[in-house]
Amino acid sequence: MLTMGRICEGHVSVGDQVDFLGHKLIPQKTAVSRVAIGGVQQKTGMPGEEVTVLLKQGADCERGGVLVKSGVNKVARQFEADVDFFELDEGGKKLPIRTGYRLQVIFPL
């Protein structure tokens, strides 16, 4: 399975054991068999680089998922948060928030 994305922190190398964390919240264990940057095969990808990673075993990858080093991260199914919504003049939404609105939240680590 080919996956593409930007390395946020750490590095990825050929042979690394990784977990794919997707919307199912169940880590899928696999290994990296190839790393390519700009179509050129490399041994390692570093933070900030856009990479294409070929995974050895058929992990069921999906858009929005994350590759992490095996056994490093824990998945949270529930959490509490205080959310502040900005007014339009502060850069907020133009349309009102309605019932069923799905907010996308990103937590930098």
Other C-beta atoms lying within 10 Å of the C-beta of residue 20: 22
Domain that holds residue 59: 2-69
Count of domains in the chain?
1
| Strand blocks (E) in the chain | 2-6, 12-13, 17-21, 28-37, 40-42, 44-45, 50-55, 66-69
Report pLDDT digits (tens) over 40-82. Answer: 999 999 999 999 999 887 677 788 888 888 877 766 667 787 8
Task: Give pLDDT, residue 1.
Answer: 81
Share of the chain above pLDDT 70, in %: 90
Whether 75 is in a domain gets the answer no
CA distance 42 to 57: 20
Tokens of 87: 């007014």
CATH code assigned at 65:
2.40.30.10
Q: What is the pTM of this model?
A: 0.64
